Amino acid sequence: MELIDKNALSMELTNEVLNAYAKADFRFAHALNVFQGLIDKAPIVEERKHRHWEGGGAYYCSNCNVYAATDVFGGGLDITEQHYCYNCGAKMDGETE
């Protein structure tokens, strides 16, 4: 699946060239309205959150507060190698407050 930006696509439908065609041909204008309706009704995919690990020693996700993954003995894994929260999917490249 490739994600696209709905707002950017909508802006493309209102550019000068397409507007000129729409003014010259009512069927083209109607088609643009149909396309805009399809864009408006397209499903929204949840945007990935960008968060960070909080704490020290025992790190937890700043989005869902779940502790970072551990090894099978409950020992902490290297936090710099845990780029995503396994629980909520947040990408751990967000700024630390």
E-strand spans in 5-90?
53-54, 60-61
Which of 82, 87 has the CB closer to Zn ion?
87
Listed ranges 6-14, 21-29, 52-60, 79-87: which one lies at the site for Zn ion (CB under 5 A): 79-87
Q: How far is the CB of 1 from Zn ion (least distance, A)?
A: 23
Question: For residue 83, what are the CA distances in angstroms to 58, 73, 90?
Answer: 16, 21, 9
**Contact of 64 with 90, CB cutoff 8 Å:** yes
82 touches Zn ion by CB under 5 A: no
19 binds Zn ion, rule: CB under 5 A:
no
Q: Is 13 in the site for Zn ion (CB under 5 A)?
A: no
Residues in the chain: 97
Report, in Å, the least distance between residue 67 CB and Zn ion.
10
Q: Establish if 92 lies at the interface with Zn ion (CB under 5 A).
A: no
Q: What does the DSSP assignment read for 14-36? A: TSHHHHHHHHH-HHHHHHHHHHH
Binding site for Zn ion (CB under 5 A): 61, 63-64, 85, 87-88, 90
